[in-house]
């Protein structure tokens, strides 16, 4: 079977949180040799950083954990919902924006908060925006993303199994 599933991580600028989630997730699926079955991307709800590489502070934090970030800023489009099996918003504010652009009610089962998969969320479902803060904020985002991505992968493996 040649089935694939596709996930998109979405934050505001697409230069900090969602590129990190993309990079960590890419490394995970490569390790499991699933890169032909699970397709991964990221996007922003804003157009502010379209075409830009990830923020240098996010790149530095990722590099310190041996993760390479290769994305370029892209703005999420309503039409992307059709193609995606899973769209994960990095916080409530971006979830609200995505909910408003969602073209059809039946696509609702594709859209979730990223941290709803975080085994250690303690009821806090936002990945805090690190852009205006210090280095610790970027490391904090890394820790959340690292522990959450394997749970997202489990979910996608189930979706993949249901497709084949
Ligand atoms: P991100 O962080 O949504 O995690 O990419 C931000 C990046 C840029 C801005 C805000 C948040 N900005 O205001 O330009």
The residue contributing the CA closest to ligand 1 atom 6 is 13
Determine the number of helices (DSSP H) and then strands (DSSP E) in the chain.
5, 4
Q: Provide residues with CB under 6 Å of ligand 1.
A: 11-17, 48, 129, 131
Tell me the CATH number for domain 5-159.
Answer: 3.40.50.2300
**162 C-alpha vs ligand 1 centroid, how far in Å?**
35
pLDDT value of residue 163:
86
pLDDT value of residue 126:
98
pLDDT at position 120 over 60: yes
**16 C-alpha vs ligand 1 centroid, how far in Å?**
6
Tokens of 145: 């993303």
Could you tell me the residue ranges of all domains in the chain?
5-159
3-state class (DSSP) for residue 44: strand
The residue contributing the CA closest to ligand 1 atom 12 is 13
Tokens of 87: 């769209």
Q: Cα–chain-centroid distance for residue 20? A: 8
pLDDT at position 38 over 70: yes
pLDDT value of residue 59:
98
pLDDT value of residue 106:
60
DSSP string, 141-157: HHHHHHHHHHHHHHHHH
pLDDT value of residue 49:
98
pLDDT in tens, 62-119: 999 999 999 999 999 999 999 999 999 999 999 999 999 976 666 668 999 999 999 9
65 Cβ neighbours under 8 A, 6+ residues apart: 142, 146
Q: Give every strand in the sheet of 86-89, ordered side by side.
A: 38-44, 5-11, 86-89, 111-113
């Amino acid at each position: 079977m040649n089935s694939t599933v596709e996930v998109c991580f979405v934050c505001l600028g697409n230069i900090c949180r969602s590129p990190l989630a993309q990079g960590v997730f890419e490394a995970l699926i490569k390790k499991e040799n699933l890169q032909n079955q699970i397709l991964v991307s990221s996007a922003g709800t804003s157009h502010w950083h379209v075409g830009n590489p990830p923020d240098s502070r996010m790149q530095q934090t990722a590099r310190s954990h041996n993760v390479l970030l290769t994305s370029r800023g892209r703005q999420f489009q309503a039409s992307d919902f059709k193609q995606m099996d899973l769209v994960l918003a990095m916080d409530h504010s971006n979830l609200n924006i995505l909910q408003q652009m969602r073209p059809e009610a039946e696509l609702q089962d594709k859209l979730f908060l990223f941290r709803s998969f975080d085994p250690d969320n303690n009821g806090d479902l936002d990945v805090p925006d690190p852009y205006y803060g210090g280095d610790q904020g970027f490391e904090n985002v890394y820790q959340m993303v690292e522990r959450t991505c394997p749970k997202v992968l489990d979910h996608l493996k189930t979706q993949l199994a249901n497709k084949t």
